[in-house]
Amino acid sequence: MIRLSDEARQHLAVFEDTTGVAARDCVLDDDRAVFVVPPEGMADAIGPGGRTVSNLEERLGSRVELVEDADDPGAFVANALRPAAVYEVTVRERETDDGTERVAYAEVDADDFGAAIGAGGQNVAMAERLAARHHAVDDVELVPDPDSCLDRVAAATGVEPVDALFDAVDERLLVLVPSGTVEDVRDATDRLRGELGWPVEVVEYGGTAAELVANAFAPATVHNVTVSESGVAYAEVADDERGLAIGTGGRRIRRARLLAQRYYGVDDVELA
């Protein structure tokens, strides 16, 4: 249930009187009033050339921002972050020391982070506030859109990566690179983390599922990979390297599973 202050209720009344649209929420923040508007009412609320919004700002004496409502939490977060271009939003549970929280990971062009964050972080803070009120989302995390990271990687390393993807489970950017270039890119991961805001891990791409699985376990040595008819890849690793292959908290084997599923449709990866 959304709780509104008396002032917010007054703003909603002025909003409807000015626009003819019944807004679904109003949040007041310093010098601005943010209204959540039903999709079918956005055009009327804006008005021709933005005139209706301008009239509303004059009546309220503050800046007005409109957020298009959405039933889907991902779409709602994307709308709340505009004018930044948000390509995809993934909502998932994240374990913390205090329990479980619901997080929305919003993929934004690496060059558009400033617009998404806003001056002093006000845009992303408002997106978090609204998402919590309307969709029980505890946090909004900005993630660099993988496609927009490719040029950053190339500029920093001189290597054209094959692809990149964000792993929301382990909160890291995975960069796939051509054979023989892993070390060149790995040497720049600290710089890339500073630019992109997330840990960067480099994996050599493989032309087959078996090759990619083996590469994903590096630096553990994989002696052979067999993919069964049921869609499970079995990676043979020496007993003394099983811990290295699994990785801290299972991060490395999860990386192998994610990449194998994403690029070759492999259902699972197990150590043999």
Q: Are residues 9 and 58 in the same domain?
A: yes
Q: What ranges make up the beta strands (E) of the chain? A: 25-29, 32-37, 63-68, 86-96, 99-108, 139-144, 163-167, 172-177, 200-204, 222-227, 232-237, 268-271
Q: Are residues 173 and 213 in the same domain?
A: yes
Q: What is the dihedral of CA 83, 85, 90, 93, to 10 degrees?
A: -40
* Sheet order of strands, 232-237 included: 222-227, 232-237, 268-271
Confidence (pTM): 0.78
Residue 4 has pLDDT above 80, yes or no: yes
Distances (CA, A) of 190 to 144, 148, 154, 158, 242: 16, 18, 15, 16, 27
Q: Are residues 75 and 65 in the same domain?
A: no
- The residue among 179, 225, 187, 232 whose CA lies nearest residue 203 is 179
Q: Are residues 136 and 200 in the same domain?
A: no
Q: Are residues 202 and 254 in the same domain?
A: yes
Q: Are residues 136 and 228 in the same domain?
A: no
pLDDT in tens, 23-60: 999 999 988 999 999 999 999 999 999 999 999 999 99
pLDDT in tens, 143-154: 988 888 898 899
Domain final position from 36, 69, 102: 69
pLDDT of residue 194: 87
Number of H helices, E strands in the chain: 12, 12
Distances (CA, A) of 221 to 97, 173, 189, 208, 270: 34, 23, 22, 17, 14
Distances (CA, A) of 77 to 7, 74, 207: 25, 5, 37
**Where does the pLDDT of residue 95 fall: very low under 50, low under 70, confident under 90, or very high at 90 and above?**
confident
Q: Are residues 128 and 234 in the same domain?
A: no
Distances (CA, A) of 183 to 149, 178, 201, 270: 18, 11, 11, 26
- The residue among 87, 80, 70, 62 whose CA lies nearest residue 126 is 80
**Where does the pLDDT of residue 129 fall: very low under 50, low under 70, confident under 90, or very high at 90 and above?**
very high
Q: Are residues 89 and 135 in the same domain?
A: yes
Q: How many domains, the chain?
A: 3
- List the CATH number of the domain containing 208: 3.30.300.20
Q: Are residues 158 and 258 in the same domain?
A: yes
Q: Crossing angle for the helix pair 146-157 and 189-196, nearest 10 degrees?
A: 140
Domain final position from 21, 52, 69: 69
**Where does the pLDDT of residue 17 fall: very low under 50, low under 70, confident under 90, or very high at 90 and above?**
very high
Domain range for 105 is: 70-144
Residues in the chain: 272
Give the 3-state secondary structure of residue 271: strand
Domain final position from 125, 144, 163: 144
Q: Are residues 133 and 213 in the same domain?
A: no
Q: Are residues 191 and 91 in the same domain?
A: no
Q: Are residues 54 and 82 in the same domain?
A: no
